[in-house]
Structure 1
Amino acid sequence: MKAVLKFAVAAAAVPFVILSAGTNAKAQMSMPDACKTEASAMKDMNMSGGGMQMGDMAEHQKATMESMQKMHPAMMQAMMAKDPDVAFVCGMIAHHMGAISMSEVELKYGDDEQAKSMAQKIIDAQKKEIEEMTTWVKDHAK
């Protein structure tokens, strides 16, 4: 698990690669308007502690923020891998770990059965993919 976390940091490279791939990629990666509306409150919030304080958040928001605060540094560290393939795979490991953490928050705090079902499917799929990517990193990272 320690090796997974160490290599998990590269996921931050993925958004940069996708977004720099051209306008077509950007168009395919747009957030739904309802998500943008909810996310607009984030403009005033510094994730390092400024702006909205964690104490002002609902429990599910605190849990999600805590998981994001763990995921982002891991993604940034992985992005620093010199080999682009290793950076990509390691970054995806961190990204998937973040998705699992967010899905666990949904299972704990969510009420909608369809959303909870999606969360469980994400957990199952991403754990399998993390295992595959971890094996790839062991075989390919130098």
Structure 2
Amino acid sequence: MAIVLTGDAETHFTRSMIPHHEGAVAMAKIAPANGKDPEVRKLAEAVIAAREKEIGFMRMWLEKKTPTSQNSPKAEN
């Protein structure tokens, strides 16, 4: 989840949250695919839906804020 620091708190937060949420979605997809407890499956499905919506919003926000080449999270060298 390493990103290029910009000095802009909102951009830094948004770029950091995208990979964080992508990780949550990846983990949550395990429960509906393999789990048996209906409550956990329902929770996992809600996590997937909410985080994917938030990822979409953050990507859209970054598109408006920065040039396309700077939008994806990048590892620091």
Question: Do both proteins adopt the same fold according to a TM-score greater than 0.5, normalized to the shorter chain?
Answer: yes
TM-score (norm 2): 0.76
Deviations 1:73-95 (A, max 9, x none): xx11x2x3212221100111111
CA distance in 2, matches of 1:90, 1:116: 28
Q: What percentage of aligned pairs have identical amino acids? A: 30
Larger Rg: 1
What is residue 102 of structure 1 aligned with on the other side? 27
Count of residue pairs the alignment pairs up: 66
- Report the Cα offset of residue 112 of structure 1: 0.8
What SS does the corresponding residue of 1:81 show, helix, strand or coil?
A: coil
Q: Which has the higher helix share?
A: 1
Find the partner of 1:132 among 44, 54, 57.
57
TM-score (norm 1): 0.43
CA distance in 1, matches of 2:34, 2:66: 38
Note the residue ranges of structure 2 that are not aligned, 5 or more in a row: 68-77
Deviations 1:109-128 (A, max 9, x none): 21111000000001111111
RMSD: 1.3
Quick check: 1:81 aligned with 2:13? no
Quick check: 1:117 aligned with 2:37? no
CA distance in 2, matches of 1:139, 1:119: 30
CA distance in 1, matches of 2:16, 2:30: 21
The higher-RCO structure (CA 8 Å, 6+ apart) is 2
